[in-house]
Amino acid sequence: MSLRYEVKRIYRDLLYLGREYPLGYDYFRPRCHRAFMNQADETDPEKIRKGVQQAEYVKKEIEALYRLKKYRALKQSYG
């Protein structure tokens, strides 16, 4: 898989997850966009892979945040 495709995929995944971000999509999207654009001129494949790994970590953290939010809501509802 090409690095370009990986970067576009993780960016799209993060934007999708950002729709449910607690502070809102209007807060999440500009920050995500800025983080990717700061690295847009990077050409070293190793640094790009490292950035993709970091984005994957952020993605997992956001998913964990959503699971925790759902768990707390269910716990509060059922006691």
What is the per-residue pLDDT across 15-44, written as a single tens digit (0 to 9) for each? 999 999 989 999 999 999 999 999 999 999
Cα 20 → chain centroid: 11
Query: Could you read off the pLDDT of 36-67 as tens digits, one per residue?
Result: 999 999 999 999 999 999 999 999 999 999 99
Q: What does the alpha-carbon distance between residue 20 and residue 62 come to, in Å, rounded to a whole number?
A: 10
For residue 29, give its domain range. Answer: 3-78
Q: Considering the entire predicted model, what is its pTM?
A: 0.86
Q: Is the pLDDT of residue 79 over 80?
A: no
Number of domains in the chain: 1
